[in-house]
Amino acid sequence: MITIKLNPAQEMGTINKNIYGHFSEHLGRCIYQGMFVGENSSIPNQNGMRTDVVEALKNIRVPVLRWPGGCFADEYHWEDGIGPREGRKRMVNTHWGGVVEDNSFGTHEFLELCRQIGCEPYINANVGSGTVREMAEWVEYLNSDGDSTVVKKRWANGRKDSYGVKYWGVGNENWGCGGNMEPDYYAHEYRRYQTYCRNYGDHKLYRIACGANAGDYNWTDTVMKISARYMDALTLHCYTLPTGDWKDKGSATKFDKTLYYKTLQGALKMDELVTRHLQIMDKYDPEHRVGLIVDEWGAWYNVEPDTNPGFLYQQNTMRDALLASMTLDVFNKHCDRVVMTNIAQIVNVLQSVILTEGGKMVLTPTYHVFDLYKAHQDATLVAHEVQSSTVGIGYAQVPDISLTASKKDKLLTVTLSNPSLDQAVDLSLALGGVRKAEGRLLTGAMDAYNDFDHQTDVAIQPLTGIAVTADGIGCTLPPCSVAELTLAL
């Protein structure tokens, strides 16, 4: 039995809805086929965007979507992707799979996709191979209402009103694919580029500087020292590889119990990374004005057999569901400083919430976690106490329970993960005054997944057997499960 004391009166901060953000790149079948099929496709679409995918994304309330990369961002020249489609420049996507990029999905298409999903756009602009002028004019094109040549181009492309895009990333992974820069060089480049990204009218930009790769604390220290006062947020990228070896990361679906626990243990390093990067940021920003954005995270496995290695297409199992829920718990815990995160990537790439094949679509276990967690968006994090132990094999140990509790509109939402592969967990949630309790559950074998012939092998079901007493709630979580409890106070 695990006892959890909930204290809704002790408020720990607001969970920014953007913690539940996503990332899309011109990579493999993420944009093309995954979300954009074009107006003439036989796959049902609205203005070229797949209706099935858009509806599914609306259901999990995607709050923000990052685009166009990733590494692609620092090779992307936005003017190639505007104007009549037939005249758009073709390029070879040398970074991802060597396929032809015809730029048929460009700035207007991205903003139309965001409109349909109902999310905020987050544009990651090009520092590595772009120019200051190019970035400045992209901002002007989207946000200005002035009578300028750049703005007139937008009018000519069918959009009279400015879009008012708020979130702007100034380069991506500039320590690597974004130009192999040293941190002090990038920090000065950042200052220069962001200077010319103007606020137009009421459209105040939220400027995001490129942050570190996982545990590169020197990057954070240097970039903060030189440019903290010019940024609103700094990023962090961290992927989880079960084996820790980039040459053989491990299979998405074939793994043993030890590797299961090792993967989750690896994902939980996020807590230490976030804590330590924030400590460094505090040195230069004691008022906590600058937020931390983890705009690439998730599991990275070997690609599925017989798929283009440059497309990063991988399946998604219950292991990924636990990885997502436990990582989201880390972000929620740090909600006073973590202002946005973007799981990589939204469709058909890495730890996706959706996979597609032709006209078919499946929702992954990770999708269902975002569904179970959606009530936390913009809710107030509340305090809890739990005496937890660990589960695992050998050195591969993880906490035996992971949770987030938040409140909004007289509802308390508690999401709970039981990572154990062998033990069900009897839970006792100490809390008086609960009028009604409902629950939803996601569970399955650690390697269970959905595919195009078995679309609902892993699906959300009601959590039964919830006992409500004067002192609290009792329920049981099966092994390898994630649950959501909704408590009416």
Which residues fall within 8 angstroms of residue 378, CB to CB, at 6 or more apart?
Answer: 14, 15, 16, 17, 408
Please give the size of the binding site for ligand AHR, defined by CB under 6 A. Answer: 10
- Smallest distance from the beta carbon of 174 to ligand AHR, in angstroms? 10
Q: Which of 70, 169, 183, 365 binds ligand AHR (CB under 6 A)?
A: 70
- Smallest distance from the beta carbon of 30 to ligand AHR, in angstroms? 9
- Smallest distance from the beta carbon of 186 to ligand AHR, in angstroms? 14
Q: Is residue 173 near ligand AHR by the rule CB under 6 A?
A: yes
**Stretch touching ligand AHR by CB under 6 A, among 68-76, 319-327, 357-365, 444-452:** 68-76
CA distance to 65, 118, 143, 195, per residue, from 136 (Å): 21, 26, 11, 9
By rule CB under 6 A, what string of x and - marks binding of each residue 355-394 to ligand AHR? Answer: ----------------------------------------
Q: Is 309 left (phi over 0), alpha (psi -120 to 50) or beta?
A: alpha
Q: Which of 296, 304, 357, 385 is catalytic?
A: 296
CA distance to 35, 100, 155, per residue, from 51 (Å): 9, 25, 27
Query: Nearest CA to 103 among 31, 30, 28, 24?
Result: 31
Tokens of 17: 């809805």
CA distance 331 to 341: 8
- Smallest distance from the beta carbon of 67 to ligand AHR, in angstroms? 11
- Smallest distance from the beta carbon of 468 to ligand AHR, in angstroms? 44
**Which residue number, 296 or 400, has a Cβ lying nearer to ligand AHR?**
296
Q: Which of 19, 344, 434, 482 binds ligand AHR (CB under 6 A)?
A: 344
Query: Nearest CA to 188 among 205, 209, 217?
Result: 209
Query: Nearest CA to 213 among 191, 228, 235?
Result: 235
**Which residue number, 69 or 130, has a Cβ lying nearer to ligand AHR?**
69
Q: Is residue 296 near ligand AHR by the rule CB under 6 A?
A: yes
- Smallest distance from the beta carbon of 443 to ligand AHR, in angstroms? 29
CA distance 279 to 281: 5
CA distance 27 to 20: 21
Query: Nearest CA to 460 among 487, 485, 483, 479?
Result: 483
Q: Is residue 172 near ligand AHR by the rule CB under 6 A?
A: yes
**Stretch touching ligand AHR by CB under 6 A, among 64-72, 135-143, 227-235, 244-252:** 64-72
Q: Is residue 242 near ligand AHR by the rule CB under 6 A?
A: no
CA distance to 17, 391, 415, 485, per residue, from 404 (Å): 14, 19, 5, 10
Q: Is 296 considered catalytic here?
A: yes
Using CB positions, name the residue nearest to ligand AHR. Answer: 70
**Which residue number, 201 or 244, has a Cβ lying nearer to ligand AHR?**
244
- Residues 225/284, Cβ–Cβ less than 8 Å: yes
**Stretch touching ligand AHR by CB under 6 A, among 3-11, 69-77, 106-114, 184-192:** 69-77
Q: Is 79 considered catalytic here?
A: no
CA distance 6 to 85: 55
CA distance 117 to 175: 32
Cα dihedral across residues 147, 151, 153, 159: positive or negative:
negative
Q: Which of 75, 173, 189, 484 is catalytic?
A: 173
Query: Nearest CA to 240 among 343, 356, 116?
Result: 343
Q: Is residue 125 near ligand AHR by the rule CB under 6 A?
A: no
Cα dihedral across residues 79, 80, 82, 84: positive or negative:
positive
- Smallest distance from the beta carbon of 5 to ligand AHR, in angstroms? 39
- Smallest distance from the beta carbon of 382 to ligand AHR, in angstroms? 33
Q: Is residue 74 near ligand AHR by the rule CB under 6 A?
A: no
By rule CB under 6 A, what string of x and - marks binding of each residue 21-60 to ligand AHR? Answer: ----x-----------------------------------
Q: Is residue 69 near ligand AHR by the rule CB under 6 A?
A: yes
Q: Which of 6, 49, 62, 71 binds ligand AHR (CB under 6 A)?
A: 71
**Which residue number, 34 or 69, has a Cβ lying nearer to ligand AHR?**
69
- Smallest distance from the beta carbon of 298 to ligand AHR, in angstroms? 8
**Which residue number, 34 or 70, has a Cβ lying nearer to ligand AHR?**
70
Write out the binding residues for ligand AHR, residues 175-234 only, by CB under 6 A.
Answer: none
String of DSSP letters for 115-149: HHHT-EEEEEE--SS--HHHHHHHHHHHH--SS-H
**Stretch touching ligand AHR by CB under 6 A, among 65-73, 276-284, 322-330, 415-423:** 65-73
In the three-class reduction of DSSP (H, G, I as helix; E, B as strand; rest coil), residue 318 is classed as: helix
Residue with tokens 């790149």: 25
Annotated catalytic sites, by residue?
173, 296
Binding site for ligand AHR (CB under 6 A): 25, 69-71, 172-173, 296, 344-345, 350
